[in-house]
Chains A and B, each alone.
Chain A
Amino acid sequence: MPDRKFLVTFSPHDRNPETTDKVMLTVIIAMLPIIANSVWYYGFYAIKGYVLTSLFCIGFELLFNKISGRPCSLKDNSALLTGLLLAMNMPAAAPWWIMLVGSFVAIIISKQVYGGLGQNPFNPALVARIFLLIAWPVEMTAWIQPTPIIRGFLFDTVSSATPLGTMKSDLLAKGHVVTANLASYTDQLIGNVSGCMGGDGAIFVLIGGLFMMNRKVISWHIPVSFIGSLFLFTGIVWAVNPARTVDPFMHIISGGVMLAAFFMATDYVTSPVIKRAQIVFGIGCGLITGIIRIYGSYPEGTGFAILIMNAFVPLLDKYMRPLSFGEVKK
């Protein structure tokens, strides 16, 4: 028998069936309840937002691949994921050009120029959100009243403030929080409050998050430490002076905390790989969010908190490396 050419590769010769594109797809599937919820409340605006950001992000990814002469990287599903996340971080009524600029910042400036998937130090969707928030504060806070889709597609916008915005303006104007002006827990949980498309509706974010945990895409470390530390911190401030802020439960279900804790802070690329470093990372996110919300001038701090903690990831991974098996501490 003539000697055949056999393939020679490094061991191991078997692999786990999980691949990167499948992992990304799982995250996208986990987002479906949130997407459905925002379509329910914002109808046409939500659909437009998701479609536009996804198309723009995919478009910029392709464009950059062409320009830099790299192979098409769409099959890893990361551009689509960034697009959807970006839409979730925008008001439903944001104009199309804001989405275009946001997608450009997310894909080109904060991802591709660093070398593409896996190389970016900061979460692309968040960089885009913060950039837009600072550059176009009016458009980025053009919140509209959520209207369930069964009452007809919404075309005329009724502007309305977010609960955290109301809290902040009451605090600044009157010196204390007016609880009566705030949305109810139920509305907050199901997303019947104005805000970013994906930020509200804590229940739906939680469903997606638990699905990802069940599929072992994310672990509990970041969400639990993030939400837990925010709960504790705001709880202490609230217990000391209830006029200063809302109760801790309201804090964790309002704004973008749930979305941030389950979908943004857990972004593999920009969070630590070591479990105990992830806990520190999550605690940092929770504390910074709380500090900005209570003492800062922005009503919401999750975006800034995650970006700040992203910067610490290399340090956390370096200094929290566990001792290797049998390693003796020097």
Chain B
Amino acid sequence: MPFFGFKGGVHPDYNKSLTMEKPVETLPVKPGDKYYLPLSQHIGAPAKPVVSKNQQVKTGELIAEAGGFISACLHSPVNGKVVSISHVVHPMAGRMEGIVIEADETNDEFVPISDEGTFQQIVQRAGITGMGGATFPTHVKLSPPKEVDSLLINGAECEPYLTCDHRMMLEETMKIIKGAVLIKEKLRIKNLIIAIEKNKPDAIKLFRKYEKEYGFELVPLYVKYPQGGEKQLIKACLNRVVPEGKLPVEVGVIVHNVGTAAAVYEAYTERKPLYERIVTVTGAVVNPKNLRVRVGTPILTLVEACGGFVGIPKKMVMGGPMMGMAVTSVETPVMKGTSGIVVYREEDMPNLTKYPCIRCGRCVDACPMLLVPSIMDRFVKKEMYEALEEHHVLNCIECGCCSYVCPSRRTLVGGFKTSKRHIMQMIKERGAKNA
């Protein structure tokens, strides 16, 4: 299989050795623990609660149903009682509507989902969203509006620090492969490609063994961030360029994270809904670990399971250091897309002394989407949204490479993120005017 690569990208310090060798441990459920479940754990409309306060629920029981096609169901992660349906901490929105469940007894069994209906309906019923961080509802991706000839399973895990996908590839190899083959067969896709970054040689070796038997192609990827970006991955593995503003389906590809493939397998064959996931807890914690945790567990519980903080925590990041969100509270719950918790002390943080832009062009060379961040940043400051749109800011994948390399510590990607919202609004208004 040829490797095509993409332009740009950066080489951050990977720091994966902290947890790379550590097998996944299951975080036990303790009676009395509270689980916080925001209704928006995915891109799209929030889920609608179907339980009421004080109702008893079992692990895997549906507690909120999808609020539309681009939405996902939500299941109780534990046996317990619904203690409130109001507001919970959310990493992006601060606080938002959610369900709080208090666990009463520890039980490893779950209420299976019904296996009636199509493959996509089962996946939807299981509440599966992309497990890589972007949390796009999986059943939507599995209902391509166009013909798809290639299924790409993303095992790049290019974010520094994170090892949850790596561990999963080592420990649940068969689930991933069988899940991928299942999707391939159900959707009648010709090619199945599993792509893994070369810094996981053990995983590559393991998958190689099954390559012939299960009829997939293994592509070892060059170690570079953002190798796991959907568009970058498609360019690297298939040399196809997804047109701007379009989804991978446009070039006949669907991309799923390894975790998603395993979740699809569990949902279809074991009828298990998505209520737990593997999270890498790392950084300034006593004993960094890969933990299997129930969705809704507050991150403080995770940190405590890792022996607590080392020193005084200054910043907590949900996800990886490149694209993760800094959270305000240790009560923030693990969500379906939470791949890691990275704790920073003051001394772990990079020097953030700001200087004026010196036009060094490092951001331009680093941008995998071939944008010109240094010039666009001027438009951000002057709120020149039309000019930004002309410079294709909407094509920005928010990977953060530009900010990462900036020696003047400009908040380049931050500016683009906020500007994109303004521009979307602008385009909407323009459409309304023309209509």
Q: Which residues of A contact B (CB under 8 A)?
A: 1, 3-23, 76, 78, 115-119, 268-269, 271-275, 317, 321-328
- Give complex CA distance A11, B413 in Å: 8
* Closest A residue to B412 using CB positions: A10
- Give complex CA distance A14, B324 in Å: 11
Question: Could you list 29 examples of A-B contacts with CB < 8 Å?
Answer: A1-B300, A1-B330, A6-B316, A8-B327, A8-B328, A10-B411, A11-B326, A14-B322, A14-B350, A15-B351, A15-B404, A16-B12, A16-B404, A18-B362, A19-B409, A117-B356, A118-B355, A118-B357, A118-B359, A269-B359, A273-B360, A321-B372, A322-B370, A325-B235, A325-B368, A326-B231, A326-B241, A326-B245, A328-B243
A10-B414, A13-B315, A274-B361 given; A326·B10 CB < 8 A = no
- Given A11-B322, A273-B359, 5 more pairs with CB closer than 8 A: A6-B328, A9-B411, A11-B317, A11-B400, A324-B370
Q: Is B365 close to A, CB under 8 A? A: yes
A8 cross-chain contacts in B, Cβ below 8 A: 315, 326-328
The one of A12, A78, A273 that contacts B364, using a Cβ cutoff of 8 Å: A273
- Give complex CA distance A21, B244 in Å: 37
B374 cross-chain contacts in A, Cβ below 8 A: 273
Q: Which residues of B contact A (CB under 8 A)?
A: 6, 10, 12-13, 160, 231, 235, 241-246, 300, 313-317, 319, 321-331, 342, 344, 349-353, 355-362, 364-365, 368-372, 374-375, 391-392, 395, 398, 400, 403-409, 411, 413-414, 417
The one of A16, A78, A326 that contacts B246, using a Cβ cutoff of 8 Å: A326
Q: How far is the CB of B227 from chain A (nearest CB, A)?
A: 14
The answer to whether B350 touches A6 (Cβ under 8 A) is no
The one of A20, A21, A119, A327 that contacts B395, using a Cβ cutoff of 8 Å: A327
* Closest A residue to B91 using CB positions: A8
The one of A3, A17, A76, A324 that contacts B392, using a Cβ cutoff of 8 Å: A324
B322 cross-chain contacts in A, Cβ below 8 A: 11-14
The answer to whether A325 touches B231 (Cβ under 8 A) is yes
The answer to whether A20 touches B313 (Cβ under 8 A) is no
- Give complex CA distance A65, B325 in Å: 37
A78 cross-chain contacts in B, Cβ below 8 A: 358
B interface SS class: loop
B362 cross-chain contacts in A, Cβ below 8 A: 16, 18
A326 cross-chain contacts in B, Cβ below 8 A: 231, 241-246, 369, 395
- Give complex CA distance A4, B403 in Å: 27
The one of A20, A115, A317 that contacts B372, using a Cβ cutoff of 8 Å: A317
- Give complex CA distance A237, B406 in Å: 43
A20-B355, A325-B244, A327-B395 given; A10·B369 CB < 8 A = no
The answer to whether A15 touches B411 (Cβ under 8 A) is no
A3-B331, A118-B357, A324-B392 given; A11·B325 CB < 8 A = yes
* Closest A residue to B317 using CB positions: A13
The answer to whether A325 touches B344 (Cβ under 8 A) is no
The answer to whether A324 touches B326 (Cβ under 8 A) is no
A1-B300, A6-B313, A273-B361 given; A16·B405 CB < 8 A = yes
- Give complex CA distance A324, B372 in Å: 9
The answer to whether B360 touches A23 (Cβ under 8 A) is yes
* Closest B residue to A324 using CB positions: B392
The one of B13, B313, B330, B368 that contacts A14, using a Cβ cutoff of 8 Å: B13
The one of B245, B246, B321, B328 that contacts A12, using a Cβ cutoff of 8 Å: B321
- Give complex CA distance A252, B391 in Å: 38
The answer to whether A275 touches B365 (Cβ under 8 A) is yes
- Give complex CA distance A271, B12 in Å: 27
* Closest B residue to A325 using CB positions: B369
* Closest A residue to B315 using CB positions: A7
A3-B330, A4-B330, A323-B370 given; A14·B321 CB < 8 A = yes
The answer to whether A23 touches B407 (Cβ under 8 A) is yes
Q: How far is the CB of A79 from chain B (nearest CB, A)?
A: 13
The answer to whether B315 touches A9 (Cβ under 8 A) is yes
Q: How far is the CB of B413 from chain A (nearest CB, A)?
A: 7
- Give complex CA distance A273, B378 in Å: 13
A11-B323, A20-B355, A269-B359 given; A324·B316 CB < 8 A = no
The answer to whether B371 touches A324 (Cβ under 8 A) is yes
- Shortest 4 CB-CB contacts between residues of A and residues of B: A10-B414, A12-B400, A273-B361, A15-B350
The answer to whether A7 touches B330 (Cβ under 8 A) is no
- Give complex CA distance A13, B235 in Å: 26
The answer to whether B404 touches A14 (Cβ under 8 A) is yes
Q: How far is the CB of A208 from chain B (nearest CB, A)?
A: 18
The one of A12, A22, A76, A328 that contacts B244, using a Cβ cutoff of 8 Å: A328
The one of A1, A4, A269, A321 that contacts B391, using a Cβ cutoff of 8 Å: A321
A118-B357, A118-B358 given; A18·B407 CB < 8 A = yes
A13 cross-chain contacts in B, Cβ below 8 A: 315, 317, 321-322, 324, 326, 342, 344, 349
A8-B326, A12-B404, A19-B351 given; A269·B358 CB < 8 A = yes
The answer to whether A268 touches B12 (Cβ under 8 A) is no
